Amino acid sequence: MIEQDWLSERFAEHQGRLHAVAYRMLGSPGEAEDAVQEAWVRVSRADTGQVENPAGWLTTVVARVCLNMLEARRARREESAGALPPEPADPHATSIHPTGQAGPEDEALLADSVGVALMVVLDTLTPAERLAFVLHDVFAVSFGEIGSIMDRSPAAARQLASRARRRVQGAAGASDAARSQKREIVAAFLAASRNGDFAALLELLDPDAVVGEVRGGHEVAAFFAGRAQAARLALVDGVPAAVWSHRGQPKAVFTFTIGDGKITRIAIDTDPDRLRDLDIVFLRANKEQ
């Protein structure tokens, strides 16, 4: 009983950090919570007699759970829903700061922007690359500890993190330009829709564009022509989108997937529970004025 009480206290003490690690690894608050719960199941059954560093041990357990989840996700070949996936707000992450040895100057900059950047390249990183990058660059875990989690050498862990860092750095540099382009395309789409400008809508839509059950650029243009009178340009969790509100309450969010400068897919979400959790900031655009 004493050992179980000690373990419960240590887990509660480090739970915020554990959730932050899982969130950065998985990119989903819900999955992060599942990972932390699974980690508790594992540690509650473990022999803690030889544990000298509870924080490090618990981080290792959570990291292994996340690695398994990422590998299962990759095996299922799940695809990202959008070109620039947003970063959900994580209430635990704001109080977590990297500790330990400092890295190169650019790593400190990456640590500040890793949330959005990592979402952008989420599907391009292997589970091992993601684990090595997040644990080292964001949470200052040593390559020796990272290697032990993956059953690899510290040098191999360092190489994985370096490879992932290059991808994230490239994505972070391209992120602002991509978002600016997307904002202009969404603003133009809303203006064309309001004006019933069928030709302008066709110019913005990919020939194989999809919205719900409607497929094809001509069909989607006909569907939206003259119908977006109340929709407004907005940032939804930091990503350009459109929002229809009624009496100040969001009722529908339109998210856009862009490929080669054309709209390839428009998703419409009207679920009140999901909309309630979104961070929505309305914008003004020249094309709307």
120 and 209 part of one domain: no
CATH number for the domain that contains residue 188:
3.10.450.50
Residue at a domain's end among 128, 159, 176: 176
- pLDDT, tens digit (0-9, with 9 covering 90-100), for 10-64: 888 888 889 888 888 887 788 889 999 999 988 888 776 677 788 888 988 999 9
249 and 168 part of one domain: no
CATH number for the domain that contains residue 143:
1.20.140.160
- C-alpha separations of 6 from 41, 44, 51, 61 in Å: 15, 11, 12, 17
Contact assessment for residue 106 and residue 169, using Cβ atoms and an 8 Å cutoff: yes
Give residue 93's domain range. Answer: 2-176
- pLDDT, tens digit (0-9, with 9 covering 90-100), for 148-188: 999 999 999 999 988 888 777 665 555 555 667 888 999 99
Provide the whole-model pTM: 0.47
163 and 215 part of one domain: no
Instruction: Give the distance, in angstroms, between the CA of residue 165 and the centroid of all CA atoms in the same chain.
Output: 16
Structural domains of the chain, count: 2
22 and 87 part of one domain: yes
195 and 281 part of one domain: yes
80 and 127 part of one domain: yes
Residue at a domain's end among 119, 150, 176: 176
